[in-house]
Structure 1
Amino acid sequence: MDVNLESVLDGLVNVSTGFVHSDELVVSWNKRNFSKTMETLAGVFSDWVNANEFHFHCQGDGSASTFWDFKIWNELFPNESEVPRETHANLIHNIQPDAKIVVIFRNPTDRLYSDYYYINRGQNISPMMFHRCSIEAITIFNNCLQNHKLRTCAYSKKKNVSMRKKDVGLSLNDDEKTLSKCPNVRLNVGLYDVFTQDWLNVFPRDQLFFMTTEDWNSNCVEYLKRIYMFLGLDIQSDDDRRKVCQNEHANTGKKKPPMLDESRELLDEFYRPHMRILSNLLNHTKYSWNL
């Protein structure tokens, strides 16, 4: 059985860690490179074949970006002006149509803020800079929508580009009349509805397991049990699952200053319609985060 452990949030690592304790599952965690994951798993299986051994195992991939990152589409399809119908979901389905996908969503506004501090760690950043760059990112995205379909803009590899502050409605001081250079704000990653629809277009609903970070944090023991049942694996005891759930969260980064209220209002407004669509897709209001 092939299992694709997917996520659009940092909490994925903790779920993957939970499976490592099972004798039935092999998990390769490579958050940046799906192909590296496949190389790792191929090496494991090659060792078994060379040893003339048989193992009933699940293979799992924990590449967090596989769910949403298809920015190379215009390199694969250079003659297409809009993102093609085929994405990672089609690739995985063609290789393993019985794959099961576990997706964990986080409040998109919180995810963006956490992601901003994580991927730009070591740089001189601040909540005010995040707010300014969020405005720029939204402006760039909305400009994209004027010429392209939503899916194309969601999968676009175009990062934040330098923009004059006056173009995004920010006041100018005499010493600020230069192009701003914003650290990357991955606004598109929070468009869960777009990516979820693409995966649902390819895989049957019963091969995808969706949950939120709130689910995991509030009732980890129960949700770990549900995931094991979803994967068809033997269920660990409550005590064993409780030990897994006590593991420290990974990819949490350093403590961040609080987000500005105006940033949260701005981003909640941007994501609100997308989360409503996601709630309808998955038939549960928890995926709207009351935005």
Structure 2
Amino acid sequence: MQEWLQVFPRENFLLLKLEEYKNDLEGTLKSVMEFLGLGPLKEAQLEQIAEEERSRVTAQRKLAGPMQNATLDILHQLLDPCTRAFAKMVNMDKFNWDSPKSLSSEQGLSAGAETSGGTVV
């Protein structure tokens, strides 16, 4: 990302968190369409995309099962420095991770068990 920001201005990038997409799919799609300068999607199109995404995610979750807290702790320890550096680089605190416990609740994980001319990242 750092190299991209050396070439393109920050306002050419739309940076989204997976949690934003997951918690407000339709709102996120509207933001993406607006950012890209495209007309708004019709409600029926938004609903169709949302339903397809829910079906896909549900099927994947059934296959994968919930993430173990130990795995979440390891990921947090491993990736936290990178996410903090990224948040600082793009000047967006929302990319800083909180504690692993808040991450698991934010992602709905049970205990023990996410331009030039419109690049979307």
Q: TM-score, with normalisation over the residues of structure 1?
A: 0.30
Q: Closer, same or farther in 2 for the Cα pair 1:256/1:203, shift >3 Å?
A: same
Match of 1:232 in 2: 37
Q: Structure 2: any 5+ residue segments left out of the alignment?
A: 100-121
Match of 1:249 in 2: 56
The answer as to whether partners of 1:279 and 1:288 remain within 8 angstroms in 2 is yes
C-alpha separation between the residues in 2 aligned to 1:223 and 1:269?
A: 29
Higher relative contact order (CA 8 A, sep 6+): 2
Residue from 71, 74, 77 that aligns with 1:263? 71
C-alpha separation between the residues in 2 aligned to 1:224 and 1:271?
A: 27
C-alpha separation between the residues in 1 aligned to 2:42 and 2:15?
A: 23
The answer as to whether partners of 1:221 and 1:238 remain within 8 angstroms in 2 is no
The alignment's C-alpha RMSD in Å is: 2.4
Cα distance, 1:237 vs structure 2: 2.5
Superposed CA offset, 1:111-146 (max 9, x none): xxxxxxxxxxxxxxxxxxxxxxxxxxxxxxxxxxxx
Cα distance, 1:224 vs structure 2: 0.8
What are the within-5 Å matches in structure 2 for residues 183-198 of structure 1? 196-198=1-3
C-alpha separation between the residues in 1 aligned to 2:11 and 2:75?
A: 32
AA at the equivalent of 1:232: G
Match of 1:206 in 2: 11
Q: Closer, same or farther in 2 for the Cα pair 1:228/1:259, shift >3 Å?
A: closer
Cα distance, 1:219 vs structure 2: 1.1
Q: Which has the higher helix share?
A: 2
- Detail structure 1 runs of 4+ shifted over 6 Å in the superposition: none
Cα distance, 1:257 vs structure 2: 4.3
Q: Which has the larger radius of gyration?
A: 1
The answer as to whether partners of 1:275 and 1:287 remain within 8 angstroms in 2 is yes
Q: Structure 1: any 5+ residue segments left out of the alignment?
A: 1-195
State the identity as a percent: 24
